[in-house]
Chains A and B, each alone.
Chain A
Amino acid sequence: MSKYQVDSNGFYGEFGGAFIPELLYPNIEELRDNYLEIEKSAEFQQEFKALLKDYVGRPTPLFLARRLSEKYGAQIYLKREDLCHTGAHKVNNTIGQIILAEKLGKKRIIAETGAGQHGVATATVCALKGLDCIVYMGEKDIERQAPNVARMKMLGAEVRPATSGSKTLKDATNEAMRDWINNPEDTHYIIGSVVGPHPYPDMVARYQSVISEEIKNQLEGLPDYVIACVGGGSNAMGAFYHFLDDEEVQLIGVEAAGWGVETDKTAATLSLGTPGVLHASRSIMMQDADGQVIEPHSISAGLDYPGIGPAHAWLKVSQRATYMAVTDQSALEAATEVSRLEGIIPALETAHAFSVLKDLNLKPTDKVVINLSGRGDKDMDTYMKELNLR
């Protein structure tokens, strides 16, 4: 087994585990005991693959971006997760988890969301399966991602505001976990990223690993670089997954620096964080000297999170992947550039990944794959405001 994969106790090196209150023990135990077996069953695989193909629209294209390639002097390929149904990679995971939830006999689905993409992807699969859906979303995010809130409601989900703390993704996650504590038997919690207690980081990574599986099939030879933005880290983990043991492939995760890593308005967890336990796993997190969680800042709601998946913490510490941080301003510039050079408006989260191209010292023979994790429709309010498009 790869040294970068989860071990039998649910750890990636020193990170991971399930630091759950006893109240959640039966729920987590049920998942831990069943997720692999269910995923490996022919029945699951058949339904998962069929839905990814006919409902999500997979495989997503791997597009050679000629004008970007020209500008940066390399062969730049875009993995078009933005073309997935619902507009982002998030749906790969929710398809997997909704089938799992059904097999476990759950009737009620809860989720947390930041940018709203995971909330929409969850509301979508709940509609598809006729299950009740409650999405927790920070009050601040409800404001800045209004179109996604409306989409969730139109899909029949109930959107509950998280009003504690920074009123963003961290707090929505707290509220979802509290809901699960209060509803331990009939409810499945669809976590949207590779965070939370074991087995979530591994389970979500497996469902997202279709991204790198397809890249491997679509690209001739191995890429030199795979680049993805990182909040909790699900699109990055999906894009890295099948390259983890190909050590010659450079894996680059791009975090949100917010106003800058030297300011207190940032979400660059791996640049600034230290080891700790947040949302029931040991990882790297932004915290003060007393171990209180520091409230992050990023212009993109999907990256506005003070933690990161334990697998990424391990990839960083073991130096398998490199993590960079990009400011709000640079992300906005990159979003404009990708729009004008390739005719693709990326999500604000995704724009961070493009912003590191200029810092990589690329050679013309370099094959670079950027995971274009989501489209920018949901961010038009922010783009209009920040880029003076009114």
Chain B
Amino acid sequence: MKNKLTELLATKPSQLLNIFFTAGYPQIEDTNRILSALATAGVDLVEIGIPFSDPLADGPTIQESSKKALENGMSIERLLSQLEKQDLDLPVLLMGYLNPILQYGMKNFCKRCQEVGVDGLIIPDLPLQIYLNEFSGVFEEHSLSNIFLVTPQTSEQRIREIDRHSTGFIYAVSSASTTGSKNQFATATDYLKKLKDMQLETPILTGFNIKTQSDFKTACEYVDGAIIGSEFIRQISHGEPLEDKVKGYVQSIR
């Protein structure tokens, strides 16, 4: 599969910084401002959250940003048309729960994602088996990487199965928690070491509870990069200019 994400990963990069934010938050038109600011600040890839009314796997920060984004009028159609207006030079992933995507229509969604320059999808409540049975064809047709999650509770056998079916990177959730919990990232190192020692085919990025430069550096000692979501959203929730907030936070991590 060839897209901006697989091209980036093919260069065997290290210390990848992936920033997550919710589309249409804090204001509806902030999606593109944040994207541009992240590109300027030098992140390696971005993950944009499609807000959902019932985000099961998310903690309070992303719940709140999703709620606000929905109140702002964000929807899949709106997000895709925002992305259409921007040159996406960075690899861009969309993260969204299954139901809004099903209502939009998975086929049409994948087609539109490719048209606007999206490289991959993270759908946390789309199980591996359903993906393989129903959707892997349409993902491939539109050159979309599917990013699966693994957790400290995922068995080695299942990690290997996920490795075989991954077409981008594996998203290693750092602890048994929803996003943005108070768990300390530093306790995840045994688990990350285990993943590293498994010598998987697919690159690994880790996420959940990564807040500081020290967390980021620790993560990069074991895996290929890290994803920061809730903490980034907290940082940009208040105050202007947004661009300075984005730049300031990314610099504090790098």
Give Cα A124–Cα B212 distance, bound, in whole angstroms.
Answer: 44
Give Cα A22–Cα B150 distance, bound, in whole angstroms.
Answer: 6
Give Cα A384–Cα B67 distance, bound, in whole angstroms.
Answer: 36
A292 x B52 contact (CB < 8 A) = yes
Nearest-neighbour CB distance to chain A for B239, whole angstroms, equals 25
A18 close to chain B: CB less than 8 A: yes
Nearest-neighbour CB distance to chain A for B11, whole angstroms, equals 27
Give Cα A178–Cα B75 distance, bound, in whole angstroms.
Answer: 24
Give Cα A183–Cα B151 distance, bound, in whole angstroms.
Answer: 13
Q: Which of B101, B151, B158 contacts A23 (CB 8 A)?
A: B151
B54 x A23 contact (CB < 8 A) = no
Which A residue sits closest to B63, measured CB to CB? A164
Give Cα A185–Cα B151 distance, bound, in whole angstroms.
Answer: 13
Interface residues on chain B, number (Cβ under 8 Å): 38
B76 x A290 contact (CB < 8 A) = yes
B103 close to chain A: CB less than 8 A: yes
Mark out the residues of chain A between 167 and 192 whose CB falls within 8 Å of any chain B CB in the assembled complex: 170, 174, 177-178, 181-185
Which B residue sits closest to A178, measured CB to CB? B178
B150 x A290 contact (CB < 8 A) = no
- Of listed A19, A276, A278, A290, residue having the most chain B CB within 10 A: A290
A21 close to chain B: CB less than 8 A: yes
Mark out the residues of chain A between 345 and 373 whose CB falls within 8 Å of any chain B CB in the assembled complex: none
Nearest-neighbour CB distance to chain B for A109, whole angstroms, equals 18
Nearest-neighbour CB distance to chain B for A16, whole angstroms, equals 12
Mark out the residues of chain B between 57 and 103 whose CB falls within 8 Å of any chain A CB in the assembled complex: 57, 59, 63, 67, 70, 75-77, 97-103
Nearest-neighbour CB distance to chain A for B253, whole angstroms, equals 25
A-B contact count (CB 8 A): 103
B127 x A23 contact (CB < 8 A) = no
A287 close to chain B: CB less than 8 A: yes
> Per-residue CB proximity of B124-157 to A under 8 Å, as 1/0?
1111001000000000000000001111011100
A170 x B54 contact (CB < 8 A) = yes
- Of listed B54, B76, B98, B181, residue having the most chain A CB within 10 A: B54
A20 x B176 contact (CB < 8 A) = no
B181 x A22 contact (CB < 8 A) = no
B153 x A181 contact (CB < 8 A) = no
B153 x A291 contact (CB < 8 A) = no
Which A residue sits closest to B57, measured CB to CB? A21
> Per-residue CB proximity of A284-317 to B under 8 Å, as 1/0?
0101011111000000000000000000000000
Q: Which of A164, A170, A181, A292 contacts B57 (CB 8 A)?
A: A181
A344 close to chain B: CB less than 8 A: no
B173 close to chain A: CB less than 8 A: yes
Residues of A within 8 A of B155 (CB): 26
A38 close to chain B: CB less than 8 A: no
Which B residue sits closest to A293, measured CB to CB? B53
Give Cα A290–Cα B101 distance, bound, in whole angstroms.
Answer: 8
- Contact flag A291-B56 (CB < 8 Å), given A22-B124, A22-B149, A22-B150: no
8 CB < 8 A contacts A-B:
A19-B130, A21-B149, A22-B149, A25-B154, A25-B158, A26-B154, A26-B155, A292-B52
Q: Which residues of A contact B (CB under 8 A)?
A: 17-23, 25-26, 164-165, 170, 174, 177-178, 181-185, 276-280, 285, 287, 289-293
Q: Which residues of B contact A (CB under 8 A)?
A: 52-54, 56-57, 59, 63, 67, 70, 75-77, 97-104, 124-127, 130, 148-151, 153-155, 158, 173, 176-178, 181
